[in-house]
Amino acid sequence: MTERMTNQEIVKVLKEAEAAMEVKGANRFRIRAYQNAINAIETSTFSVYDLWKSGRVSEIPGVGASLTQHINDLLKEGSVKEFENLRKDLPDGMFELIGIQGIGAKRAHKLASAFELDDREAALEKVAEAAEKGKIQDIPGFGEKTQAQILEAITELKKTKNEKPRLLWAQAETIAERVYKYAKELPEIQKIEALGSYRRKKETVGDLDFAVATEDPEKVMQHLLDFPEIVEVLVEGDKKASVVIGNEFQLDFRVVSPDQYGSMVQYFTGSKYHNIVLRSFALDKGYSLSEYGIKESKSKKLHEFAEEADFYKFLDLDIVPPEIRQGKNEVDLAANGNLPKLIQLSDIKGDLHMHTNFSDGTNTLEEMVQACRDKGYDYMGIADHAPSVESRGYAAVQKIITSTRENFNEIDSKYNDIKVLYGYEVNLLADASISLPDEFLEQLDFVIVGLHTAFSQDRKQLMKRYMTAIEHPLVDIIAHPTARLINERDAVDVNWMDLFDAVKKHDKILEINSYPDRLDLPFDLVFEARERGIKLIINTDAHSTGHLDLMRFGVSVARRGWCEAADVLNTQSKDAFLKNLQKFA
């Protein structure tokens, strides 16, 4: 058995195998299977190594029998004989070029062969140098324009690695809204929408790509280039412009006629893996797809689409919601009319994780209740950070709980239109104990437990801590389960398959935390939990009345995890919901 391989290390091996297959003309369906598997692993919070140890590699979406065997061989022996044979006569430097914009496997092979790129370490520099000297344009199939694009992509790659952090989705949203507001000043802009990872509601966004519909592209392009936040224009063309705004964030504008707008929106929304599957589906029907429309392979007739829904309809597909364009089986489901009816913000009937000025919130209990009533919620729960017995003393904490209980009872009886629940967010301590004694937990309406310290403990101790909460009869909800902070702290390293088994066995609820830098559970764990029938709840973790609006971010995560309303507890009526809490069961 080899040492434990990370998902990134496994993906690297699979990508190189897939590239070798492309160069050697392997069956396109086999290549597509590898692409789907790579996509699933790249976006997974699960450890493939853990799945392998449990004999569950085949559970990874897109991994069939052949790939399962290859991954088994890789993790057991450290290499795959078939992969080694595929790569045997290929220049090693080609694999360093794959992934650069505009360079696929075949182009990478051509470049590596032309410039004898046998050393990975030097491959990028050699290609950049060749581009600067005008040597790439002489290779058949490239040309001057492609040469310039490759040089730009390599430069951008270095910039991306060293200078350009990805923004939280919520941060990107504020930029997009400012662009929308500015665009509305010009009547000639008929439609505009931000596409790519932003439209798919990914946790982070690297840049913003806008599709713009107009019949006056020259006037519109000039207006967009006059956007007051622009500090640098990278590319300026008739139909495309790339600019950088004040926070070094890049905006790309693509101007298109109204008749082609739907095709452009579909193409640049992605994901790449969804478009690969969709392209194969279309090829089987005799069509090719592009950002300009759908072309008949025989007659070369181009069908244009002003609306994205019509693009999918032409292929006899229901429109796939952007959040689940993931390259799973969404195209097959769309062909059969079986796409999930994804949860919507309007389905939410309550929120069970919010804070008041008792702990680290800014509003009073009464103010939080009123804000939830304004949202039309049927129930709500306050989960302030639990008072510490260690710092305050046992008697003082009992006095706090007694007086707070009375306050909650008074508030709850005051309003007939909302149920007000009294809970605490309790710490799961480093020694695997819970920070509040059982006799205090029993006095609450619900209990949320979460990790707030010692995130780098070894897997065994972390799992022990989780099991303390999962097995505890008075615990209802596991808060922000992976404890990640996006762009700051990775998810804790545990065996999520085993943890989910325990959650299901002990009938606990997993939270989808809506806070923009948490969005936790991540969408892939949401998908897995939903598949297992695990109870999910979307909470805001609000620390003010304004934070209650964060619920939409949690709903987006649930949608990316393929959740319907029935998969999320706080879409239920008050009576049905309360039965899921220990005190009301």
* String of DSSP letters for 98-154: TTSTT--HHHHHHHHHHTT---HHHHHHHHHHHHHTT-GGGSTT--HHHHHHHHHHH
pLDDT of residue 269: 97
- The topology (CATH level 3) of 167-256 is Beta Polymerase; domain 2 (3.30.460)
Sign, CA torsion 566/568/571/575: positive
Lowest mean pLDDT among 20-29, 165-174, 402-411: 20-29
- What is the spatial distance between Cα 230 and Cα 222, in angstroms, rounded to a whole number? 13
What is the pLDDT averaged over residues 471-482?
Answer: 98
Interior/surface letters 201-233, b for 16+ CB within 10 angstroms, e for the rest: bbbbbbbbbbbbbbeebeebbebbeebeeeeee
Amino acid at 119: D
The share of the chain scoring above pLDDT 90, in percent, equals 69
- What is the spatial distance between Cα 265 and Cα 193, in angstroms, rounded to a whole number? 8
* CATH code for the structural domain at 345-584: 3.20.20.140
Lowest mean pLDDT among 14-23, 182-191, 312-321, 419-428: 14-23
Going by C-alpha positions, the residue among 295, 103, 270 that lies closest to residue 201 is: 270
Q: How many CB atoms lie within 10 A of CB 155?
A: 12
Crossing angle between the packed helical segments 551-560 and 169-183, to the nearest 10 degrees: 100
pLDDT of residue 161: 41
Per-residue CA distances from 458 to 9, 44, 134, 464, 465 (Å): 20, 20, 52, 10, 11
Interior/surface letters 326-365, b for 16+ CB within 10 angstroms, e for the rest: bbbebbebbeeeebeebbeeebbbbbbbbbbebeebebeb
pLDDT of residue 2: 59
C-alpha atoms less than 13 angstroms from C-alpha of 193 in its C-beta half-sphere: 21
Mean model confidence pLDDT for the chain = 92
Residue 19 has pLDDT above 70, yes or no: yes
What is the pLDDT averaged over residues 58-82?
Answer: 84
Residues of the chain with CATH 3.20.20.140: 345-584
Residue 50 has pLDDT above 90, yes or no: no
Residue 311 has pLDDT above 60, yes or no: yes
* CATH code for the structural domain at 7-163: 1.10.150.110
- Residue matched to tokens 């480093």: 430
Q: How many CB atoms lie within 10 A of CB 20?
A: 23
pLDDT of residue 437: 96
Sign, CA torsion 521/330/276/91: positive
Going by C-alpha positions, the residue among 386, 382, 430 that lies closest to residue 407 is: 382
- The topology (CATH level 3) of 262-335 is Beta Polymerase; domain 3 (3.30.210)
Residue 139 has pLDDT above 90, yes or no: no
pLDDT digits (tens, 9 = 90+) for 520-533: 999 999 999 999 99
User: Could you tell me the pTM of the whole model?
Assistant: 0.84
- What is the spatial distance between Cα 237 and Cα 140, in angstroms, rounded to a whole number? 26
pLDDT confidence tier of residue 331, bands split at 50, 70 and 90: very high
Sign, CA torsion 404/406/409/410: negative
What is the pLDDT averaged over residues 25-54?
Answer: 81
Residue 1 has pLDDT above 60, yes or no: no
pLDDT confidence tier of residue 283, bands split at 50, 70 and 90: very high
**In sequence order, what are the beta bridge partners of 424?**
384, 447
pLDDT of residue 255: 97
Lowest mean pLDDT among 136-140, 176-180, 287-291: 136-140
Residues of the chain with CATH 3.30.210.10: 262-335
What is the pLDDT averaged over residues 201-208?
Answer: 95
pLDDT digits (tens, 9 = 90+) for 75-86: 888 888 888 888
pLDDT of residue 21: 87
Of residues 421 and 160, more confidence is placed in: 421
What is the pLDDT averaged over residues 144-162?
Answer: 70
Residues of the chain with CATH 3.30.460.10: 167-256
Going by C-alpha positions, the residue among 265, 319, 326 that lies closest to residue 293 is: 265
Of residues 578 and 87, more confidence is placed in: 578
pLDDT of residue 157: 66
What is the pLDDT averaged over residues 120-125?
Answer: 82
pLDDT of residue 533: 97
pLDDT digits (tens, 9 = 90+) for 222-263: 999 999 999 999 999 999 999 999 878 999 999 999 999 999
For residue 49, the Cα-to-chain-centroid distance in whole angstroms is: 21
